[in-house]
Structures are given as C-alpha cells and as structure tokens.
Structure 1
Amino acid sequence: MKEIEDLRKAVSAWEPEDRAKVDAAVETALGMHEGQVRASGDPAVTHPLRVALILAELGLDSDTVVAAVLHHAADASGPVRPDLAERFGPTAALLVEETSRMAALKAKNKTLQAAETIRKMLLAMTRDIRVILVKLADKLDNMRTLRWLPDEERKRIASECLDIFAPLADRLGLSSVKDELEDLALKELNREAFDQIKAIVADKKGERAEFLARVEADIRAAAAQEGLFVEVSSRAKHFYSIYQKMRKRNKSADELYDLLGIRLLCGTENDCYALLGVVHRLWKPLEGRFKDYIAMPKANGYRSLHTTVMAYDGRLLEIQIRTYDMHRVAEFGVASHWLYKKGRSRDMVRAEDLPLVNKLKDWSGMLSSGAEFLQEIKRELLKESIFVFTPKGDVVELPAGSTPLDFAYEVHTAVGNRCVGAKADGSIVPLTYELRNTQVVEILTSNTARPNIDWLRAVKTSKAKSKIRQWLIANGQALVIDRNVVAKKKAEISETKVEVRARGEGRGEAGKPGEPVPEVRTAGPETSLPLGQTEIHPYVPRAVLSSDKAGVSVSGGRGLMIRFAGCCRPTTGDPIVGYVSRGRGIIVHRRDCKNLPFLADFKERSIEVVWETRHPGLTRRFRITAKRIPDLFGEVETAVKKIQGHLIEGKLEEDGDRLVGWFTVRMEKPEDGRRIERSVRGVPAILKVQVVDSER
C-alpha cells in the first residue's frame, strides 16, 4: 500500500526500535479497519496512515505518529483496547485514548457535535498538547480529500476549518498547517477567487523570480560589508492571505504589489537588529509596517522582526528577520518541543509550561455549551489578541476589543471586584474604553468598591463576565437587563468581606501575574456558583410598578453605562440630571440631590437625561430542569436574547444533582413565546422546559 511505504520512508532515519513501533501500529490499524472503506472508496486505514505521514513530515516524535496511526481506534472497534499501553507505551496509549474519544463523539446536531469535539479537544490539550497536533493533521487530510463528500458537507467542514482549526494552528505556531488549511477552505468556499489568485501568481512567477534574485543579491552584498552572515530565502504569500488583502483594500489580486516576502536567517538576536538596519539603508521602510516580535513575542512563542519596504520600481516587499532557533519555532510552533531526536534526548516541555495551555486551563472552568461555546472560542482564543502591560512591565494577553475591566479580572478576581477606575498610558480612561496594543494599564482599586450589573455590558471576556455574575448572585444583586437601562438593588444580606492590598487613599494598582495576589475572603468558593434558594430578580422602584416608564435616555446617545445614584435614589418621574463620572459611566441623580454641588467639575460634566417611555409587552414564565453547570443563568439569558426577548426574573434551586429554575421573560409578540421556549430547550444542559403561566 502506497500510504504504508510513504510513512516508512518518512521515518527511515529513526532508530530501529522507533521504526518497529510504527510498523506495529500500522499492523494493528490494518486489523482494526479491515473491510472498512471511505467515501472515496479507499480503504479506511489510508486516512490514519496519511495523518501519521503529515506528522512524521513535520518531524514529530514516535508517540505522536503512533497515536495518529491508531487515532480512529474507538471508531473502528469499540472502546480503546487496553493492551495498547503495554504494546506502545503509556504516552502513546494516552494520546490514542484522547484522540479516539474525539473521533467517536456523536451529538444530535452538527453544531453540538462540533462544540463538544472542540471542548474535549481543548481540555485534552491541557493534559498533552500533542492531542491537538493529531487533530489538526486529521483535519488537514480531510480537507485534502473533501471532493468525495456532498456539497453542503464540504462547505460546513471548510467553514469549520477556517473559523476554528486554521486559527488554532496559528495560535500553536504551525504556520504550514494553517496556510494549507486556509487555502483549501478558500478553494471550497470561494472557488472563483481561489482560481483567480492562483492564475495571477502563476503568471507573475518569472517576473517575481527576477525581482527577488536582485533583492537577494543586494541584501547579501550589504550584509557582507557589515560582516554579517545571512541566509536569504524568498516566498510568495499563500492564497488566503492574498484574498484577505484583496478584501481589506478592495483591490483585485493583480493590483496588489506586496505579494512577495523575503526571509533572512542569522545567528544571533543582535544580528537580527543589525540586518534590520542594513535593509532600511537599502530601501525606505513604510511607516506603521514595522513589528518587533522579538521584543514582544506572540502567544505561540513566535519571534521575528517584520518590516515592509519600498523596493525597486516602487514595489512593496515584506521582510522577516529571525535567528535559526526562532525559525524552528516559527515553522513548528509548539510541535518544536516534540520533534524527533535520536537517542530520545529531546527536551520535553511540560504542557503546563506553555502559555496557551495555561490560558485554556484558566478558561475551561467557564466553558458554556453548544453554539455559544463556539462563539466564545472564536472570539477569545482564536481571533486577534492584544498585548498590554501592567505598571510593572508584565505582559497580559487579551482578546481585541477588551476593556480595563477585562484586564482587571485577568490579573485577579479581587482586582476586578474592587475596580473603581483605570489609566491607560497614564491617562484616566472609562472602564468601557477599548484597550490598544502595547498600552500600559493601571487599575485603580478601593476597598469600598463593588461590581455592578452595568459591568456585564462593558466586558468582553468570559472570565470577566463569569466572575461579575458570580459576585452579583453571591451578594444578592437583582438583575434586570433592558435595551436602555440597567437597574439594580442590593438585597438585605451580610456584606462579603474582601481585603485588597492598596496604596495611598484606598487605591491600588494591578498586581503582577504570578506574584501574591490580593487576599480575598468570600462567602463561598470563588469558582462555584452558589445554589439553593439563590434568586435573581428585578428591582423596580415602587413608582414604576403602575407606570409604563422604566428607562433613561441620554442626550447625544453616547452609549455609556448608566447607573442610578445611591445617595438620592431617583425613581420614575423625578426630575433628573446625568453626571459623567471617571470610569463609572453616567450617574443619574435627582436634580435636587444635595450632593450635586460637591461633585468635581459638575457644571462641565453634567449631561441631560430623560425618562424614556416603554411598552410593558407580554411576559411568560418557564420552569426548567437542568444539569448542574457553572452559568445556567447566562445560558438561558443567551437563548432568550436570540429571539429578542428579555429575561426579567430568575430563580435557581438545587434538586439533588440537578437544578430547577423559574424564569420570567418579556417578549414583544404572543408568537414569540413558543420561539423562546424552543430556544431555551436548545440549551444542551436543559433537560425539561414547562410553561408555568403567561400574562399580559
């Protein structure tokens, strides 16, 4: 069989015992898949053999290659065979078990199956990151053989690869896998654009070669004059990156001039910066196109200097400069820690030493379910990140679009819970401010500060949302979320004691990750959702109960958070005025509030606000039974919002190993009731939904 011969050739330089281990795995797989065929008509065993070949060509170790050969073991013959550990060793057996479990996973619909597969995959990564290397190779081979599947299935798989697996490969530093997954997905999802780009790249091949030869010669000559040895290689950008540039700049492929790249490899970090000077003396650099990933590496460990210059005839040229060690990480990412070495002398790196795995561990406790989980993954783990600094110079990675509150909760829960303001690069900024790359962020804290429900609108990360919700529920905060205003009232309960080390007047700065964090004493475990007669109910001022007015409208529609002042407690119909605070949004006071004269710069920072009329709409009350999950309230809230409903009341109680909840929902039209019910039933953790009553 060709696949067997190709695999044996790829591992031919390995030690005899490692080659024998792979041969034994192949024989085992042949027996497991005997008589099975793929959609193409090929023997089923050809797929795991090709997956193993991909990993062997990437240079992965024998345990990973063996796991790839056997990664459909549970699919083929029931549970993973217990003798695998004895035959191939405990590490290979563990990898087989984890990858087989994902391959065998079935769910009632494709979205749930994808979500659960990715959930298990990410959690398995925290035990051994090689699980995802096998899964990525599995996806790559499936993408290469898509043509045998129905059109709808092909597009679904291609979209999944573009949304999940290609970005994940990028996060792990597997650039070659990422590039090929993206190109294959583009070919499936937009064949016209793919063919156009392919033709233009092919047409300009000769012209490109002549241009690059001239560039390479000039770089070598200039480097030699400085006493620098440099290895120069050139490359054309992969098709999907060209496609992205076409969309971003609204140009066709033949109008783009920066389709070429040069890579310079050298011996030391100092040589990298010296070569950067050589390049910039040869050609003028483009402003804003220089990136120093040596000083600030990417989360996957990638380090390199990037610059774009205006070369001959006005042609743009992107240049990467890195050392040979940096290049190894750039090519293989986290896989570089498990590259095959004779004598088994490779430097094994524990999964917990990798930043991405630590982030997964921290995040996995807040995983939601189904479609929402997929969206969270795309937004937080796989899309663009920003890197900001604490005042002590430590780097914190956050999803693009994050706010100072996200930063505070990333540092520590106690810092977030005690946040009263923030500074970015020394300037006071609102808590809703969108942080930018490389800013220095300082969190101002106070022992008297408390989270409030407005913060749920301001934060982007699941961690921050989860911690805010936990605090609100644990401290009896009532929740009512509407389009125009968020109102809250603190229940009559004993106050949770939280102590925060601070400086000056009760204010402190964000602590350094990894150092002792602010001491926290809470009423319960920080990571658990308090249950048993836990209520979430709306606070509606007495004057509102018989009125159709509930919201506040801000003059100019600034989109800031709105809070009601605790000193004068305005209720519907009262004359009111807004005060733009520093970092806490707009505070609404009664116009006769005695504290107004004492507010800093009140005249300059006051703003007109008015009560807003709102129709009461219809309500429907549901009783649900569900599995215990960390954020059931959030899951139900998301399901209701999908149908443009509003969750206005909720209550959760324990019932053995289950949760029982009552939720009241406001909707616009009577027919929305059934749609909301169906949406709530779609939450994977929910076992039963009953309509208790409905009213106008």
Structure 2
Amino acid sequence: MDYAASFLARLPKRKRSIGLDRLNRRMERYLSAEQVRQVMDAYEFAAKAHEGQQRYSGEPYISHPVAVATILADLKLDAQTLMSALLHDVIEDTGVPKEHIAERFGEEVAELVDGVSKLDKIEFRSRAEAQAESFRKMLLAMVGDMRVILVKLADRTHNMRTLWIMPPEKRRRIARETLEIYAPIANRLGMNTIRLELEDLGFRCLHPYRYRVLERALKRAQGTHKQIIQKISRRFDDGLGEAGIDARVAGREKHIYSIYRKMRDKKLALNEIVDVYGLRIVVESVDDCYRALGIVHKCYKPMPGRFKDYIAIPRVNGYQSLHTTLFGPGGLPCEVQIRTDDMDRVAESGIAAHWLYKSGNAPAAQPEVRAREWLANLMEMEEGGSSEEFLESVKIDLFPDKVYVFTPKGDIVRLPRGSTCVDFAYAVHTGVGNRCVAARVDRRPVPLRTVLKNGQTVQIVTARGASPNPAWVNFVVTAKARMAIRNFLKNLQRHEATDLGKRLLDNALREFKLTLRKVPDERMKATLELLGCNEVQELYEQIGLGERMASLVARRLLPEEADKRGGEQAAPLTIAGTEGMVVTYGRCCHPIPGDTVFGYLSAGRGIVIHRDDCGNLTEFRKQPDKWLAVEWERKLNRTFPVEVRAEVRNRLGVLAAVAANISSTETNIEHVQVVERDGDSSSLIFLLQVDGRAQLERVLRSIRAMPDVLSVGRTNT
C-alpha cells in the first residue's frame, strides 16, 4: 500500500480531484500492493494519453475512466479489469494501438480494451448499423472474456450519471438504448445493483416528468411505509429468534422504474403498487431458507398461488431465492424474499461475484455458467444475417420471463413466456428444431404452435428429411428459434437458386449451340472475374435469383471465334411446381397446369410464373429481356391455387350450397369472399386448390348446373 500512498502524494492537488483517492481506498480493501501498483501504472499511462482532452462538462477526460474503474472496484473486480477500465478509451480516442497496450500491460488487458472499444473507424451505411455492429463485436468479445461486458456496463453507468449535460435528443437516444439493451444485459448477468441504477437513470432521462410524479408519490408514502415495515420486521425477528434461526430482516427499497413498469404492464393504479410492502430475510443455509419460510407463513397468511421457489429452479441469470406474498397488517400485501448470504451476494453482483470468489463454490460460479450458456446461444444466432437483425434478436432474447418446462428425461428447459413447442425444440438443439414435425405435451399430441405453460413435459417428434416451415417465424418467441429458421430458409433459397441458375444458363447457351460442359475453363474464369464473382456457384445463384440475365452471361461465355448470331432456339424451361422458394406463382392471375404461361425474372425472387392473359402483361411488356419461355412438366404431383368467381341469386343458404357442391368434386376450398353487388345478386369468390385445368373444368361445370348460379368463371386481373 506504500506505493499507492506515495504515488498519490506526488500528484498535484488538481490531478487528485478526479476521484483517484476514492479508487485507491476501494482497491486497498482487497488487492495486494503489487496489484495496486499495476493499476496505478495503467492510470499514469491513460492520464498521459488523454492529456488535454475534456468531457462535455469541461472536466478532464481522465475523470471518466477513473470513475468507471471505481464502479468496478466497488464490485471487487480483479486488477486486470480495473486496468482495462482505466484504458478502455485509449484505443478509440487517442490513437494508441492495441499492440502498444499489449506490450506494456499484457495481452489479456489489451484484448479486454479492444473488446470494449467501438468501431468508429469503419464506415457504415447508417448510425443504426454502426451501433448494431459495435454491439455485435462487444458480445462476441464476451465469449473470449466475460469481463468485457463488466467494463462496458460500468462505462455506461458512469455515462448515465453524467448524461444531463448532453443535448435533449442525444440524452433520450442514449437513455432508450440503456433501457433496451444494457439494463437487460445487467439483469441477464444477475448484476442487480448495476441494473437498478441503469433503469432508474434511463427512466429519469427518457421520461423526466413521469419520474418526478412517481418520485413525489413515493416520498409522500414513505413515513407510513417505514412504520409498517418496522412492525412486520419485529414480528419476523421474534418468530425467527424463537425457532433458533440466525437471520437479518430488512425492508426492500422500491425502485421507480420497476413501479412504472408494473403500472404500465399490469394496468395498475399507483396506489395499488405503493401499498405493497417488501422485505428480505437473509439466513445462513439453504435449510434455514425453508425453515424461515414456514415461520413467516405462521406470522401472516400466504396468498394462494404467489409462492416461487427460485432455489430449486434458479432464474436464467443464476438468481436464487424463495419468494412469497403474505396478507400483512390490515390485509396489505407483503412480498418477502428469503435467501442465504451467498445467494444475496450473487443476487446483487451476479457474474461479478465470480472473480472475487473463485474458490469454486456453486453460488458464485453459477451466474457465469448461466451467462456462458446464454453466450453460446448468441453465437448460434450470430451466424448469418446482418448486424441489425442480430441486435433485434438479442433484444428479444434479453427478456426471458419465464416458463419452466421439462424434457421427457426430466431436464428443465427455461423459455420466455409465450414460447411454443417449436421454441422448445430449438432450445433443445437446432437440429431438433429443424427436423421437428409434431409435439406431445404431457403425452397428448398438440399443434406445434401451442403455447407452453409452467411444469409441462414436452416431447418433440422429428423426421429425417423434414425442414422448417416458413410460417413458424410468425409465432416463435425465442430469438434462437427465429434466427435458426431464417438461416435455414436463406440457405435453402441459396441452394435452390444455384440449381435454377445453372438450368437457366444452360438453357441460354443452347441458343448458341453450346452447353456448360463445353465452356472452356479459361473462359469461365475470365467471366467470373469480369462479373466480380468468386466462384461459379455464386454466379448461378445470382442468375437464379434474377439478379443477372442468363442470356447476357451466356454471351460473355462464348469463345471469341463463336458465331454470336445464334443457332437453334433454346427450349422452354420446364417447371414442376416443386421448385420451392425461387419459382413462385403470380397471385394476380393464379396460373395452373394446362394454362399457357411465361416466366418473369424478378430480382431477389427468382422466376414469377404468370398466365399469358394476365392483366399485368402490359407492365411486363416494357422489359422483354426479363421474359422467359416456360412450360409445365407432364407429370405434376401437387395442387395449385386458383380463384373462381360465381354470380348467384341472393337467397338464404346459397353460399353453403355452392361450397357443398365444390366439396363434392373433391376440391379443397382455401378461402371464401362474399361481395354483394345489388339486392338480387351477389358475387362469391372462392380460392380453390386444383391439380390442373381438367379438375377446374369439372368444378366449373358442377357449379354452372346449379339453379341459383347466374354465371361462373376464373377471375382475371
């Protein structure tokens, strides 16, 4: 400690006014003299690097890194983390390279500093993309070292404490980002102290008027609140003392943002929340927790259905405690939390407790285990997709309240509230989710979109060769499931586009009496280089998605001496209706097998099939280079939608009669619309599923023969 004292004594008073004394006092409580010396060395380096720089408030810039390090010292983080906190803006704001930090303070500190640094030197298309990419980098750095996020959370906490100096628009933006991202991350990592401060500061900056109203209401209720808390505490102390349980009983402080969220989410009045009293009981062992629960239930009657055992089944962030709600004095609700000292320490510090208590005890290690499970899920979500998609997925994943279900083997799976069987399947394993075809809940078959409830046992039925349904994206809740489905469909589309593009290019080459097999390798390589493609598969994919014209690419592939006037006409491309995501059918004209059709190349969608008498034909004629000759395969094994309009007399039961007639032809009705034209007649529009024109003609003849049908035919735009 002598080194720290002499170091501080050497500093001029104006340089000591930035909080260094406070940081030193925090470090002396738990770090060795050598570790304090290393931290002070990092301070000297940072102070010199930031010399001449000022914060928006006019303070020396070094005051910010010192304040960040002090917040982490309060959590008793190790010396490397404190050094990284002091240096965390050096790379970004002073131009000192990462290599220089690694040489001076070691690779471990350099990696931590780099993980926290933003990506200001990279050009982005928008501010949102820059924020999302910076956030992605920080989370991925956490995979290597969890302390990255601890430094970032401390950095954000001090910025929020000094946010009032900023312009209103920037203040609101930073506050919203804090409430949407950083406070939930602190919650996910079990860092309750940091979370509560970030939430209250963020709420105060984003909604200052609402904050003041709630703050005044709490102050008015404070006197009565203290009296009732003291009365309940004395009764608990007496009961616990008689049972021989050594315990600390204290009232829990209410936080304004949590009150605001309860009012907003549960549609409650302020007095309904202010009149709820909270106490915390801290005991020595898990056994004492359950004994204390029995004592408090003797003191006051428990409310039915309001008991939660987070010791047996911890929260997703590792939090453990017993929660119960009692009918207190005068019937007022009283919320009680019962936990051990270790659980209390973990509840306040979360993952930060791991670096102070590395003895391997379960409560301190558990938050890190939970956090690493979460990061493993983030890594799966990170594969594919843009930074902005990743950020939105993480936001969704940061609000995990709270359904606990069981696998058939009895393992617990934690899911966000509202999760479905598909979410459960992806939570078990991405491969299980991709191949799931059915589900059983408590041994009974249920639809895959069934919302799960606490305590249910879920079994997923898989099938080889099965694949995700695009409609699942509309009802899944977890970010992992959503990203896995999207990534699978993207890869599927890419595969289908590659196959289609190859067929289109081969078709176009036939016009010049050439095939892909006969194109010289040198010519293909030159064409790929000219078009900016890394490999031939990429070229096929672009053609299949309509981003390049097959006929133009075919001309580039021709040998120099080839006759470019062409030879035989290319045969029409055959379609079978099973090409998946890269061949779609126009909703304007609903083409079916037997219709004369043509294809239109749409960028990003592939080929869209239209009837030759489609009403949109006029628009497509303006781009003849995007037309494509297509024809149906002879043997098709699927149905196609077709729209039929029937003009009928307005009488009771006519819709049911026409629908029954259609069903008698073994034709499925997808949708029905009734359009009343006048008092005597109506238009019935049916969307049917048919396998071709022959089936459609049977349906039309059957409807036409009905006495109340005036006319019937296909719709045409």
Residues in 2 aligned to 1:34 and 1:207: alpha-carbon distance in whole angstroms: 52
Q: What secondary structure sits across from 2:450 in the alignment?
A: coil
Match of 1:329 in 2: 346
Give the TM-score of the pair, scaled to structure 1.
0.69
Q: Which residue of 140, 151, 161 corresponds with 1:123?
A: 140
- Note closer, same or farther for the CA distance 1:336–1:351 as it changes in structure 2 (3 Å cut): closer
Aligned to 2:378: 360
Q: Are 1:11 and 2:60 matched, yes or no?
A: no
Q: Given the superposition, is the C-alpha separation of residues 135 and 103 from structure 1 closer, same or farther in structure 2, using an over 3 Å criterion? A: farther
Cα separation, 2, equivalents of 1:186 and 1:290? 30
Equivalent in the alignment of 1:270: 287
Match of 1:65 in 2: 82
Counterpart residue identity of residue 214, structure 1: K
- Matching of residue 457 in structure 1 with residue 518 in structure 2: no
The residue aligned with 1:610 is 671
What are the Cα deviations for residues 15-58 of structure 1, in whole angstroms up to 9, with x where unaligned?
10111111111111110110000110011111111011111011
CA distance in 1 between partners of 2:340 and 2:367 (Å): 24
User: In the alignment, which residue of structure 2 is the partner of 1:679?
Assistant: none
Say if 1:341 and 1:268 are closer, same or farther in 2 by CA, change over 3 A.
Answer: closer
Is 2:334 aligned against 1:286? no
Structure 1 gap segments, 5+ residues each: 481-489, 494-529, 550-565, 576-589, 597-606, 615-695
For 1:106 and 1:234, the matched residues in 2 are separated by: 51
- Alpha-carbon distance change, 479 to 275 in structure 1, aligned in 2, over 3 angstroms: farther
Paired residues of 1:231 and 1:265 also in contact (CA < 8 A):
yes
Match of 1:680 in 2: none
**CA 1:160–1:316: 2 relative to 1, 3 Å:** same
Compared with structure 1, are the counterparts of its residues 260 and 114 closer, same or farther at alpha carbon in structure 2 (3 Å cutoff)? farther
Check 1:471–1:161 CA distance in 2 against 1; reply closer, same or farther (3 A cut): closer
Amino acid at match of 1:117: S
Aligned to 2:457: 440
Give the C-alpha shift of residue 122 in structure 1: 0.8
8 Å CA contact 2:221, 2:274 repeated in 1: no
Paired with 1:349 and 1:242, the residues of 2 have a C-alpha distance of 29
Secondary structure of the residue that 2:154 maps to in structure 1?
A: helix
Instruction: Answer whether contact 1:272 1:321 (CA < 8 A) is retained.
Output: yes
Alignment of 1:333-348 (within 5 A): 333-339=350-356
Q: Are the counterparts in 2 of residues 25 and 69 from structure 1 also a CA contact under 8 Å? A: yes
In 2, the alpha carbon distance for the partners of 1:531 and 1:466 equals: 23
Q: Distance in 2 between matches of 1:274 and 1:331?
A: 23
Cross-structure match for 2:189? 172
1:297 aligns with 2:314: yes
Q: 1:373 to 1:329 in 2, by over 3 A?
A: same
- Pairing of 1:549-568 with structure 2 (within 5 A): none
SS of the residue aligned with 2:76? Answer: coil
Aligned-partner SS, 1:284: coil
CA displacement, residues 647-688 of structure 1 (integer Å, 9 cap, x when unaligned): xxxxxxxxxxxxxxxxxxxxxxxxxxxxxxxxxxxxxxxxxx
Structure 1 position 569 matched with structure 2 position 587: no
Q: Equivalents in 2 of 1:532, 1:611: separation in Å? A: 43
AA at the equivalent of 2:642? T
> Which residue number corresponds to residue 504 of structure 1?
none
What is the rounded CA distance, in whole Å, between the counterparts of 2:236 and 2:141 in structure 1?
Answer: 45
Opposite residue 671 of structure 2, the aligned amino acid is V
How far is 1:262 from its partner? 0.8
Q: Is the 8 A contact 1:61 1:340 kept in 2?
A: no
Aligned to 1:542: 591
User: Who is 2:540 aligned against?
Assistant: 533
Change (3 A) 1:404 1:218: same
Contact 1:257 1:316 in 2 (8 A): no
CA gap 1:364/1:350 in 2 versus in 1, 3 angstroms = farther
Give how far 1:238 is off: 0.8
Residue 322 of structure 1 and its aligned partner are, at CA, apart by 0.8
Counterparts of 2:235 and 2:356, CA distance in 1: 35
Match of 2:127 among 85, 91, 110: 110
Instruction: Label 1:491 to 1:290 Cα distance change in 2 as closer, same or farther (>3 A).
Output: farther
Offset at 1:402?
2.7
Q: 1:389 aligns with which of 381, 390, 406?
A: 406
C-alpha spacing 1:106/1:51, structure 2 compared with 1 (3 Å): farther
Cα displacement (A) at 1:357: 2.3
- Which deviates more from structure 2 when the two are superposed, residues 384-393 or residues 250-259? 250-259
Max radius of gyration: which structure? 2
The answer to whether the 8 A contact 1:388-1:439 is kept is: yes
Taking only the aligned residue pairs, the percentage that are identical comes to 38
Deviations 1:343-400 (A, max 9, x none): xxx9989977732222222322245323x33322211234535332211122223343
Relative contact order (C-alpha < 8 Å, sep 6+): which is higher?
A: 1
Report the CA distance shift for 1:259/1:34 in structure 2 as closer, same or farther (over 3 A).
Answer: farther
Cα distance change, pair 351–290 in 1 and its aligned pair in 2 (3 A): closer
Aligned in 2, Cα 1:35/1:390: closer, same or farther, shift over 3 Å? same
Q: Which residue of structure 1 lines up, in the alignment, with residue 331 of structure 2? A: 314
SS of residue paired to 2:445: strand
Aligned partner of residue 387 in structure 1, secondary structure: strand
Note closer, same or farther for the CA distance 1:105–1:128 as it changes in structure 2 (3 Å cut). Answer: farther
8 Å Cα contact 1:419/1:446 also seen in 2: yes
Cα distance in 1 for partners of 2:249, 2:367 equals 34
Q: Using the TM superposition, name which of 328-337 and 92-101 deviates more.
A: 92-101
Structure 1 contact 187–194 (Cα < 8 Å) conserved: yes
Pairing 1:415–2:432 present = yes
The corresponding residue for 1:142 is 159
The alpha-carbon deviation at position 9 of structure 1 amounts to 1.4
What's the CA shift for 1:341?
A: 8.3
**Residue aligning to 1:209:** 226
What SS does the corresponding residue of 2:77 show, helix, strand or coil?
A: coil
TM-score (norm 2): 0.67
Q: Counterpart in 2 of 1:88?
A: 105
The residue number in structure 1 matching 2:710 is none
Q: Secondary structure of 1:41's partner?
A: coil
More helix by share: 2
In structure 1, the partner of 2:63 is: 46
Q: CA deviation at 1:196?
A: 1.9
Q: Please state whether the residue corresponding to 2:318 is helix, strand or coil.
A: coil
CA distance in 2, matches of 1:109, 1:491: 33
Contact 1:231 1:266 in 2 (8 A): yes
Unmatched 5+ residue regions in structure 2?
A: 1-15, 504-536, 545-580, 596-609, 616-635, 646-661, 676-716
Partner residue in 1 for 2:446: 429
C-alpha distance after superposition, 1:240-295 (max 9, x if no partner): 01112222344443443444321111122122111111111211222332211112
Residue aligned with 2:342, SS? helix
Q: CA 1:120–1:411 in structure 2 vs 1: closer, same or farther (change >3 Å)?
A: same
CA distance in 2, matches of 1:186, 1:106: 32
CA, structure 1 residues 611+251, in 2 after alignment: closer, same or farther (shift >3 Å)? Answer: closer
1:509-535 CA deviation, whole Å, 9 max, x = no partner? xxxxxxxxxxxxxxxxxxxxx956344
